[in-house]
Amino acid sequence: MRFLITAGPTREPIDPVRYLSNRSSGKMGYALAKAARNAGHEVTLISGPVSIPAPESTDLVRVETAVEMFDAVKIRINEADVAIFCAAVADYRIKEISAEKIKKNDEEVTLTLMQNPDILGSARSEFGFTGRLVGFAAETENVEANARGKLERKGCDFVVANDVSRRDIGFDRDANEVILFAADGSTMRLDRASKDEIAKAIIQHILTR
């Protein structure tokens, strides 16, 4: 099967030297790419800026901003049988990027942000993707309710939820612990394990159910 996986953060420029981003390391998405490839699948990995090496034998597409990730997904998603959206896409970008480095002249500076496109939310409605669709939900509270809401709103077959308020797992950690919510109402908990092991179990689960 052919997989399309998004990974890492996006980076939204403020001026030529500064940007807005988040703490995503890309480890979970890269682990998923590796697990899918090891299971014999073809993988296109669309990645924001991360500091981990490219996984072998995957088609790696590097992007910076959410808009670039949106475009990269849009032109490739319909070649995929399975799409997994693991990237921590910035919800907002700077409305007017300064052409020059912003100087330290004023006591206060106001940056106006505008909403980025929802890539996962566009998969069914705008891109017309009919394959298996998997989203991630990084929650700090009401994990199940938020994940189930996302599952329905975005037309996902699965949502993988993790609790990002915990410091021992998730963002920038090597370990994770997740709950998989499926559109058929079933739930599967994957107890704390390395991201490689979690990735392998996720790939198996979404293909067999």
By annotation, the residues acting in catalysis are: 22
Binding of residue 77 to ligand C5P (CB under 6 A): no
Size of the site for ligand C5P (CB under 6 A): 14
Binding of residue 133 to ligand C5P (CB under 6 A): no
Binding of residue 137 to ligand C5P (CB under 6 A): yes
* CB contact set of 153 (below 8 Å; sequence gap of 6+): 121
Which residue, judged by CB position, is nearest to ligand C5P in the bound state? 119
Nearer to ligand C5P, 49 or 102 (CB): 49
Site string for ligand C5P, 93-132 (x = CB under 6 A): -----------------------x-xxx------------
Single residue of 31, 36, 87, 206 touching ligand C5P by CB under 6 A: 87
